Amino acid sequence: VAFSEIERKYRYPEDRVVNIHKRVNPFLEDLLDAAKKAKVDIRVASGFRSFTEQSSLKSQYSVTYGAGSANAFSADQGYSEHQLGTTVDFTTIASLGALDGFNNTPAYTWLLANAYKYGFVLSYPENNAYYVFEPWHWRFVGKDLAEDLRKEKIGFYDMDQRDIDKSL
């Protein structure tokens, strides 16, 4: 899989290197440019993570929060959407890169209304059956599937695999 480094102007902090799948990057840039044009600040805090990076992150969370708590919001290595290279965590400059409270920002409101146009969906909405609500965590699924999910008013993990295949 080929990855692209997300441009500095789209990252927070700018000096953190963040990668994404090469084929997803143009859609991400279009999304971020559209948000900027709408005067909404959205930045990328995290993107692709290797198996080793995810393992390290999960270990840190388990030590800090306990294994049970960490499992509610962090996937084991090999199961994280970030390892696909198609998922990003968004943040804002105003929040100084914090993820907590992202759902109270204009960025989140804008993403809910517009991200599907660029092929992105919220992976873990409120009251999902998989992880805690993660308003910052968005996955690229393609424009057609994102639009179908929006029309059906369901999340990616609520759609039957056969329906996903048809949409694709």
Which tens digit of pLDDT belongs to each residue from 74-107? 555 555 788 889 999 999 999 999 999 999 999 9
- 3-class secondary-structure state, position 96: coil
Mean pLDDT score across all residues of the chain: 87
Question: Of the candidates 134, 139, 133, which has an alpha carbon nearest to the alpha carbon of residue 159?
Answer: 139
| Predicted pLDDT at 165 | 72
- Please name the residues in contact with 128: beta carbons below 8 A apart, sequence gap of 6 or more: 155, 157, 158
- Please name the residues in contact with 160: beta carbons below 8 A apart, sequence gap of 6 or more: none
4: enclosing H helix or E strand: strand 3-5
pLDDT exceeds 50 at position 30: yes
- Cβ atoms of 38 and 110 within 8 Å: the answer is yes
Per DSSP (E only), the strands in 14-156 are 19-21, 43-46, 87-91, 120-122, 137-140
